[in-house]
Amino acid sequence: MPSKAPSRHAGTKGSPLAIVLFSSAQQRFTKGEDRVEIEATRVDHLIRALYARYAELDGQLDNAAVAVDGVIHNEAEYVALPEGCEVQFVGQVAGGSGDAVSEPLGGVTGEPLGLARAWRSAGRGVAIATVIETWGSSPCPAGSLLAVDERGHFEGSVSGGCVEGAVIEAAGNVIESGESTVLEFGVADEDAWAVGLACGGRVRILVERLG
């Protein structure tokens, strides 16, 4: 089924137009809209415009990692937005992709499975992504875990770069639908580092809802 056409909203007049893609969890705060076009020069302008458009979204994007055309940026407030770029807010990251932080919950931090169980016990929807197979070079070995909750918080790592952003997005869909999925990523040597894989790396990742 084709995607809905993006609705359009003016942020900073005369600025480049960015297309914001919302995860299934974020759509709870956007009246069900999965994307919107916003005029904005930088990420901070974009966030202000989004909060003005969607009152329930206010505060949900603070300190989030931001993927601009598939490249994840940490501390993205002043990142420039090129004309026609696609933007996704994928969670809270410290120190670059693959170095995730989450709010403490029940005294559990830093361990993906333990934190996932704590989130689940608190009544949140949770998905677990697991590296099930790798070929060639890959930043994370088989068995590596990434936990994601329905609010977009995450802990752990299964790759890095825009691969991790894609996995977090898929996790939101799995939480919503309850249907597990297997993702496969593989790239040529010259493109590998751009998407968070070592040269020539390939990886398969199982994403499933917890509980």
- What tens digit of pLDDT does each residue of 97-130 get? 333 333 444 444 447 888 888 889 999 999 999 9
Measured CA angle at 75 (ends 204, 185), to 5 deg: 10
Give tens-digit pLDDT for 34-81.
889 999 999 999 999 999 999 999 888 876 778 787 666 766 788 889
Residue ranges covered by each domain of the chain: 7-92, 112-209
pTM: 0.52
Could you tell me which of 110, 88, 63 has the C-alpha nearest to residue 164? Answer: 88
Q: Does CATH place domain 7-92 in 3.10.20.30?
A: yes
Per the CB < 8 A criterion, the answer to whether 187 and 203 are in contact is no
